[in-house]
Amino acid sequence: MNAPEGRRRATVHDVALEAGVSRGTISRYMNGERYVSAEARLAIEAAIEKVGYVPNGAARNLAARRSMAVGFIVHEPHALFLEDPNIGSIMLGANTALSAADYQMVTLIVDSERDTERVARYLSGGFIDGAVIVSARTKDPISRAVERLAMPSAFVGHPPGVLAAYVGVDNRGAAKAITERLVATGRRRIGMIAAALDRDSGSDRLAGFTSALGSRFDPALVEEVPLYSYAAGVAGMQRLLQRAPDLDGVFAASDAVAAGAIEALRMAGRRVPEDVGVVGFDDSTWATRTQPPLSTVHQPAEGLGRAAAEAVLTQLETGDLTFTGTMLPTPIVWRASA
């Protein structure tokens, strides 16, 4: 401890005494309200400086019944949290929007049963006025808490199981669009490495692929892998190549998968894009690290975070928690892999 043991932290009371005004006036000054005379202001500023006053957040929250903080809740499996290249961008995007509105973003990560309970309590505890939620789960204790508290909130990624605002992208439409683009380059035998079919994003991307191909769709050209990972991409491509050696185009469910696929193709002696055209999904850091760089679907991660935060802010301002679903555009970025 640096501070002398006996010295309490200064309170509004101390400032009031020092400045010769009432606590009410201090409060008004602190909150930038009108009705504070110039002289009072000056006296208060001097007093604050002199006694070293720093407001106590808990007391403030208690009395005002709001915290000026919004939670950013990440509820993804351990591995996914580390792998997902988008999550950091979503976070920064949300922080940008909240910061501009002078809200403190507090990120809570849920990585165990214990965390789930504790975070749910945190939500109920009045520490945050709203929440942006990035979650693979639906209808878990956290979503329930948000629902029960009627807390301003927005989900990112998947539509929530509960009735709440939601910001996402049209995975199906985007997958369809990039597949069509690949078809347009003249490829005849196009396969897909479909990943994470247990998640909406995964199954939607497959659905988009199927629908783009229409009658030309051949189920034998779809290889399923469990995760959006590099390793899964390598393995998936190898199996696909074995089943369909004549294939000349591949839609990988994510950039990481595409990177793995390119590696597998290289090992098999196929050239990209000459022999096989490859397209990915996400436009993550992977996209520019492969050789050749990936043609892919741009995922507006930062925009998702910002939009979700803004949805929360709007609910906070208007008090209207009406459900809204927003889809952000996903432009295709055409590079050299197809």
Partner DNA sequence: TTGAAAGCGGTACCAT
Partner DNA sequence: ATGGTACCGCTTTCAA
End-to-end CA distance of the chain: 63
Q: Is 31 in the site for DNA (CB under 7 A)?
A: yes
Binders of DNA among 34-63, rule CB under 7 A? 34-37, 39-40, 53-56, 59-60, 62-63
CB contact at 8 A, 10 and 25: no
**C-alpha closest to that of 69 among 27, 132, 114:** 132
Binders of a second copy among 4-63, rule CB under 8 A? 54-62
Instruction: Please report how close the Cβ of residue 256 comes to a second copy at its closest, in angstroms.
Output: 9
Out of 70, 119, 136, 142, the residue judged to bind a second copy by CB under 8 A: 119
Between residues 101 and 162, which has the closer beta carbon with respect to DNA? 101
**C-alpha closest to that of 92 among 286, 281, 303:** 303
C-alpha 115, offset from chain centre = 19
Between residues 61 and 315, which has the closer beta carbon with respect to DNA? 61
Q: How far apart are CA 235 and CA 238, in angstroms?
A: 5
Q: Tell me the site size for a second copy, rule CB under 8 A.
A: 58
The sheet with strand 190-195 has its strands ordered as 222-225, 190-195, 249-252, 277-279
DSSP code, position 233: H
For residue 35 the two structure tokens come to 């009705």
Binders of a second copy among 245-304, rule CB under 8 A? 259, 263, 285, 289, 291
CB contact at 8 A, 233 and 205: no
Between residues 40 and 308, which has the closer beta carbon with respect to DNA? 40
Out of 21, 151, 194, 234, the residue judged to bind DNA by CB under 7 A: 21
Residue 166 exposure: Cα atoms within 13 Å on the Cβ side: 17
The one of DNA, a second copy, none whose footprint includes residue 37, by CB under 5 to 8 A per kind, is: DNA
Instruction: Please report how close the Cβ of residue 179 comes to a second copy at its closest, in angstroms.
Output: 26
Instruction: Provide the sign of the torsion angle of the four alpha carbons 177, 181, 187, 193, taken in this order.
Output: negative
Between residues 27 and 324, which has the closer beta carbon with respect to DNA? 27
- Residue numbers at the binding site for a second copy (CB under 8 A): 1-3, 54-62, 67, 69, 72, 78, 81-83, 85, 88-89, 91-92, 95-96, 99-100, 102, 104-109, 111-112, 114-115, 118-119, 121-122, 124-127, 147-148, 150, 230, 259, 263, 285, 289, 291, 319, 321
